């Protein structure tokens, strides 16, 4: 397996395929680099170098007891891009991975050409007076409770219901998609997955303000994890060079359920 070792001794697994301009993918909770397979294969066949890593505590990376927070994840990503000597890269994040991308781009702009935030939690996804469409405190506590209970059952419930919108009327659930989500989640560490909830309660406003490269925001209007109104309007106001692509009826996990639509849209933005 391809790995790097961080300054605090954590091995980070990554995939690195192809040649050409690099595209770096940051996955969501509680998944791994495998969640980007549809995008990596697509862009590989369009002449790009594609890189995706398993965040520490996820997938095939080490599961340390410490450092399971956004700042460490960003520094791990920075270490990876430095070791691979990536320049002029496009960074694409999904969900929690968007917090990683936003903070990385804000702190390491010299290596970045463009960024994409898909179903992003930025600038923040929690409910407040200024963000009445955000998720309530009880929602975050329910996630924590699910992981402290029967994690294996909880990791079936999430993809069977809100993540892919399979709980909506007329939806046609895919057992293979659900099982693949479960497989990725159970390969990761319970401690790091539990700690990830703290990153959902962070505010990424200052990170978005610092970004000057072109950023595409992509969001499904039927997202039940990060409701459209909870993040998208404010993100666009904060980004200096942001644009928006919306998808009526699409769920949080639309990169999987609608890869045939999103992949060409991503390619169009990257080539623009």
Is 199 known to be catalytic?
no
Instruction: Look at residue 193 in the predicted model and tell me its pLDDT.
Output: 98
141 band by pLDDT with thresholds 50, 70 and 90: very high
pLDDT tens digits along 49-62: 999 999 999 999 99
Q: What is the mean pLDDT of residues 10-29?
A: 98
CA proximity to 118, closest of 135, 104, 139, 100: 100
Distance CA 9, CA 15 (A): 19
**What gap in Å lies between CA 22 and CA 18, rounded to an integer?**
9
Provide the percentage of residues in the chain whose pLDDT is more than 70: 100
Find residue 93's DSSP bridge partners. 26, 117
Measure the CA–CA gap between 136 and 39, rounded to whole angstroms: 32
Closest CA to 105 of 94, 93, 95, 96: 93
The pair of three-digit structure tokens given for residue 188, joined into one six-digit string? 């990761």
C-alpha to C-alpha distance for 112 and 89, rounded to whole angstroms: 5
- Kindly indicate the confidence band of residue 110, based on its pLDDT and cuts at 50, 70 and 90: very high
Instruction: Tell whether domain 3-271 is in CATH 3.20.20.30.
Output: no
Average pLDDT, the chain: 98
DSSP H helical ranges for the chain: 37-44, 70-83, 96-107, 137-148, 151-160, 175-187, 190-200, 205-210, 228-238, 254-257, 259-271
Query: What pLDDT score does 1 carry?
Result: 78
Per the listing, tokens 């990169």 go with 255
Mean per-residue pLDDT, 204-212: 98
63, pLDDT greater than 90 = yes
Q: Tell me the three state secondary structure of residue 33.
A: helix
How buried is 48 (Cβ within 10 angstroms: 0-12 exposed, 13-18 middle, 19+ buried)?
A: buried
Q: pLDDT band for position 65 (50/70/90)?
A: very high
pLDDT at 241: 98
Question: What mean pLDDT do residues 210-225 have?
Answer: 98
The H or E element containing residue 128 is none
Q: Quick one: which H or E segment has residue 25?
A: strand 22-26
Interior CA angle at 165 toward 224 and 183, to 5°?
105
Of the candidates 95, 120, 192, 199, the residue annotated as catalytic is 95
**Arithmetic mean of pLDDT, 132-143:** 98
Give the separation between CA 103 and CA 201, rounded to whole angstroms: 15
Catalytic residue among 34, 58, 223, 230: 223
| First-residue to last-residue Cα distance in the chain | 34
Q: Is position 252 annotated as part of the catalytic site?
A: yes
Q: If we measure between CA atoms, which residue out of 227, 231, 217 comes closest to residue 251? A: 227
β 3-5/11-17 pair status: antiparallel
What are the backbone dihedrals phi and psi of residue 179, each rounded to the nearest 5 degrees, phi first? -65, -35
Q: pLDDT tens-digit profile of 149-168?
A: 999 999 999 999 999 999 99
- Max CA pair span of the chain: 49
What is d(CA 47, CA 185) in angstroms, rounded to the nearest whole number?
A: 30
What residue ranges do the domains of the chain occupy? 3-271
Is pLDDT above 90 for 249? yes
């Amino acid at each position: 397996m391809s790995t790097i070792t961080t300054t605090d001794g954590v091995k980070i697994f990554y995939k690195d395929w192809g040649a050409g301009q690099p595209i770096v993918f940051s996955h969501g909770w509680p998944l791994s680099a495998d969640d980007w397979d549809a995008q990596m294969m697509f862009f590989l066949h369009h002449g790009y170098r594609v890189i995706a890593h398993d965040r520490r505590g996820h997938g095939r990376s080490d599961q340390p007891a410490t450092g399971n927070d956004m700042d460490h994840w960003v520094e791990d990503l920075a270490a990876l891009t430095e070791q691979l000597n990536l320049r002029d890269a496009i960074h694409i994040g999904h969900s929690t991975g968007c917090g990683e991308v936003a903070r990385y781009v804000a702190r390491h702009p010299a290596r970045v050409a463009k960024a994409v935030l898909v179903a992003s939690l930025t600038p923040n996804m929690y409910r407040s007076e200024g963000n009445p469409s955000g998720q309530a405190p009880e929602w975050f506590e329910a996630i924590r409770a699910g992981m402290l209970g029967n994690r294996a059952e909880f990791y079936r419930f999430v993809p069977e219901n809100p993540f892919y919108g399979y709980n909506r009327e007329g939806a046609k659930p895919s057992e293979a998609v659900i099982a693949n989500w479960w497989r990725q989640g159970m390969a990761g560490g319970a401690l790091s997955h539990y700690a990830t909830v703290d990153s959902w309660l962070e505010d990424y406003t200052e990170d978005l303000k610092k970004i000057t490269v072109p950023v595409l925001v992509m969001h499904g209007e039927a997202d039940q994890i990060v409701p459209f109104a909870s993040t998208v309007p404010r993100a666009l106001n904060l980004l200096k060079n942001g644009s928006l692509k919306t998808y009526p009826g699409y769920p949080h996990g639309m990169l999987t359920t609608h890869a045939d639509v999103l992949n060409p849209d991503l390619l169009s933005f990257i080539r623009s």
